[in-house]
């Protein structure tokens, strides 16, 4: 299941904070801050989707992510490869290295990561 752009923005805040009350989340937003009701609606949808849970403390709720950031983005990237690159990681890598404007140094760093992963397997 996917998150909307607004939900992803809020989810990133939760991943960073690990646990947060509504006030903490509102404080994390840049100006202009969204209405409390907007954030509450996003949290409800994200809870219904299984991405967020909460612990109740009286009338307050402390929210926390139930999905790891790495797991979410791994599924997202794998879906991207499947849907846009004919399920070919090679086509994705070719596009990524040619079209993202990486510097020579960034490409060399990427090559080191790939070489390390090859050795690990």
List the CATH number of the domain containing 13. 1.10.10.10
18: left (phi over 0), alpha (psi -120 to 50) or beta: left
> What pLDDT score does 38 carry?
97
Q: Which helix (H) or strand (E) holds 52?
A: strand 52-57
Give residue-wise pLDDT tens across range 16-62.
Answer: 999 999 999 999 999 999 999 999 999 999 999 999 999 999 999 99
Give residue-wise pLDDT tens across range 50-96.
Answer: 999 999 999 999 999 999 999 998 888 888 888 889 888 888 888 88
Kindly state whether residues 91 and 113 are assigned to the same domain: yes
Kindly state whether residues 52 and 79 are assigned to the same domain: no
Kindly state whether residues 98 and 57 are assigned to the same domain: no
Kindly state whether residues 50 and 78 are assigned to the same domain: no
Kindly state whether residues 56 and 74 are assigned to the same domain: no
Enter the pTM of the model. Answer: 0.75
Kindly state whether residues 75 and 95 are assigned to the same domain: yes
Whether residue 1 has pLDDT greater than 80: no
Name 92's Cβ contacts closer than 8 Å, sequence gap at least 6. Answer: 80, 81, 84, 85
Domain boundaries, position 92: 69-120
Kindly state whether residues 10 and 61 are assigned to the same domain: yes
> What's the domain count of the chain?
2
As a whole number of angstroms, the distance between CA 112 and CA 47 comes to 39
More confident call, 63 vs 121: 63
């Amino acid at each position: 299941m996917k998150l909307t752009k607004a939900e992803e923005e809020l989810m990133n805040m939760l991943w960073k904070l690990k646990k947060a009350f509504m006030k903490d989340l509102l404080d994390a937003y840049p100006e202009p801050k969204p209405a409390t009701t907007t954030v509450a609606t996003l949290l409800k949808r994200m809870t219904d989707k299984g991405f967020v849970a909460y612990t109740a403390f009286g009338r307050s709720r402390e929210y926390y992510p139930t999905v790891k950031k790495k797991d979410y983005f791994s599924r997202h990237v794998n879906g991207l490869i499947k849907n846009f690159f004919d399920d070919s990681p090679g086509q994705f890598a070719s596009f990524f290295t040619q079209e993202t404007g990486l510097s020579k140094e960034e490409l060399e760093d990427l090559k080191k990561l790939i070489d390390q992963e090859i050795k690990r397997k």
